[in-house]
Amino acid sequence: MSLVSTQQINPIQETIFNRSTVLFLTVLAFVSVFVVICNQFVPVGSALHIPTYTVTLLGKYLTFALLAVSIDLIWGYLGILSLGHGAFFALGGYAMGMYLMRQIGDRGVYGDPVLPDFMVFLNWDELPWFWHGFDMFGLSMLMVVLVPGLLAFLFGWLTFRSRVTGVYLSIITQALTYALMLAFYRNEMGFGGNNGLTDFKDILGFDLQSDATRLTLFLLSAIALALGYIACRYIVTSKLGRVALAIRDAESRTRFIGYKVENVKLWIWSFSAALAGIAGALYVPQVGIINPNEFSPLNSIEMVVWVALGGRATLYGAVIGAVVVNYAKTYFTGALPEVWLFALGGLFIVTTIFLPKGIAGLLSRKEQRA
């Protein structure tokens, strides 16, 4: 009952910047520059003009792509199927959201200089302890990485030591995100309950609604994706990565040889969670809201679906999957509002049956033929 497919997907010995990586980074750079030019320098009426609305949408896709890469790292290369990665994404998002809330200052509805609106409204007299420090950008950004990272570390430390594997691991990651969702829905928790955090005004003094800030956030997402991608490539091509592959394919054997399986898993797992947190932090200012729904187990499953659809253990496949599914969602919900779930569900079924290696498999098959 293994959850880990034993097929070899990558040859063992590789450099960080292999063909697909270079190509991916080139395409990413090209798209970013193209978007900037079309947004800034092409006049509004022109067919080539990209409105800021689309730029933000693309920025959102890029943060999803980064999230997908972080899932692919642990699923594709380490064999851990996390059905709760949305939790780390959302935690990163909340850390960013808390910073943005504090930035509102006295411009909130009730004009309280310190307390966010929802706290005034719930009659809280002072800021809860965990909100302190989020008025500082640096510390908040640290929290974006630390909170998901540490939670993952703690969770992994418990879990990997007890050798929880396979479906059991997947289901308790699901339990983790489910418990967090219920907790964040509670208004007593101090995270705004169901309404979450919203009504953000500016970041580091830059107006969040201005086109320039939007474009910058888009570019930052692109850069984060590129760096995250390179970091993941670095891990999977390092010795650590090769041990990870060994764990994926034969965990007990790797342990018997003498590798500290738990440690390898723990580090890569925590890194992946931190990466998901960064994606969440970039996501929040672009969509303007963070709410406990992001913790929903179904969201996390959907994230896994992106990776599976794009092609597991290829990294670029994860990016393609995230972008394609989310673009499909954007398009279908507008074009076929009544029946779009048929289209999306159908897409999932058809790709699994006819494209076992995802879209990436389709691309590399073409490559082999050529």
Question: What gap in Å lies between CA 49 and CA 349, rounded to an integer?
Answer: 36
Give the residue, chosen from 91, 143, 320, 325, that forms a contact with other proteins under the rule CB under 8 A: 320
Residue type, 234: Y
Which residues, listed in sequence order, are joined to residue 202 by a DSSP beta bridge? 207
Instruction: At 361, list the tokens.
Output: 């498999």
- The one segment of 9-17, 47-55, 63-71, 271-279 that binds other proteins by CB under 8 A: 47-55
For the segment 278-307, give every residue that binds other proteins (CB under 8 A).
287-289, 291, 293, 297-298, 301-302, 304-305
Q: Is 171 in the site for other proteins (CB under 8 A)?
A: yes
DSSP string, 253-266: HHHHHT--HHHHHH
- For the beta carbon of residue 163, count every other beta carbon within 10 angstroms: 13
Q: Does residue 175 interact with other proteins by CB under 8 A? A: yes
HSE of 149, CA atoms in CB hemisphere, 13 A: 13
Please state, in angstroms and rounded to a whole number, the distance separating the CA atoms of residues 267 and 368.
35
Residues in contact with other proteins, total (CB under 8 A)? 113
Residues of span 330-359 touching other proteins by CB under 8 A = 330-331, 333-334, 337-342, 344-349, 351-353, 356
Residue among 57, 226, 244, 275 that touches other proteins (CB under 8 A): 57
164, 165, 166, 171 alpha-carbon torsion, rounded to 10°: 30
Name beta bridge partners: 229: none
- Minimum CB separation of residue 90 from other proteins in Å reads 11
Query: With respect to other proteins, which residue has the nearer C-beta, 162 or 238?
Result: 162
Among 9, 50, 71, 278, binds other proteins (CB under 8 A): 50
| Residue 350 C-beta: closest distance to other proteins, Å | 8
Site for other proteins in 121-150 (CB under 8 A): 121-123
Which of 25, 150, 172, 230: binder of other proteins (CB under 8 A)?
A: 172
